[in-house]
Copies of this chain bind each other. A is one copy, B any other.
Amino acid sequence: MAHEIPDIVIGRLPIYLRELTRLAEDGDKVTTSSYELGKRLGISSAQIRKDLSHFGEFGKQGTGYHIGYLIEQLSEILHLTYEWGIALVGAGYLGHALAHYAGFQHRGFRILCVFDSDPTKIGERMAELTVQDINEMEATIQRLQIQLAILAVPVNVAQAITDRLVQAGVKALLSYVPLHLNVPAGVEVSYSDPVVQLQRMTYYL
Interface residues of A (CB under 8 A from B): 2, 7, 10-11, 13-15, 17-19, 22, 40-42, 77-80, 84, 86, 92-94, 96-98, 100-101, 103-104, 107-109, 147-148, 150, 171-172, 174, 178-180, 182, 188, 190, 192-205
Q: Are A180 and B19 in contact (CB under 8 A)?
A: yes
Q: Are A190 and B197 in contact (CB under 8 A)?
A: yes
Q: Are A97 and B107 in contact (CB under 8 A)?
A: no
Distance, CA A13 to CA B204, complexed state (A)? 13
Q: Are A109 and B198 in contact (CB under 8 A)?
A: yes
Query: With A13-B203, A201-B148, A205-B79 known to touch, is A194 a contact of B42 (CB < 8 Å)?
Result: no
Copies of this chain in the oligomer = 2
Closest 8 CB pairs of A and B: A14-B199, A172-B201, A93-B97, A14-B196, A188-B201, A190-B197, A94-B97, A97-B97
In the complex, how many angstroms separate the beta carbon of A37 from the nearest chain B beta carbon? 10
Distance, CA A192 to CA B97, complexed state (A)? 14
A171, A188, A197 interface centre (most CB from chain B within 10 Å):
A197
In the complex, how many angstroms separate the beta carbon of A205 from the nearest chain B beta carbon? 5
Chain B neighbourhood of A171, CB < 8 A? 205
A7, A79, A178, A201 interface centre (most CB from chain B within 10 Å):
A201
Q: Are A10 and B200 in contact (CB under 8 A)?
A: yes
Extra inter-chain contacts (5) besides given A79-B202, A80-B199, A97-B97, CB under 8 Å: A10-B203, A15-B196, A17-B199, A171-B205, A190-B198
Chain B neighbourhood of A197, CB < 8 A? 174, 190, 192
Q: Are A203 and B96 in contact (CB under 8 A)?
A: no
A148 (CB) vs chain B CBs: closest residue: B198
Chain B neighbourhood of A198, CB < 8 A? 84, 86, 108-109, 148, 172, 174, 190
Q: Are B190 and A192 in contact (CB under 8 A)?
A: no
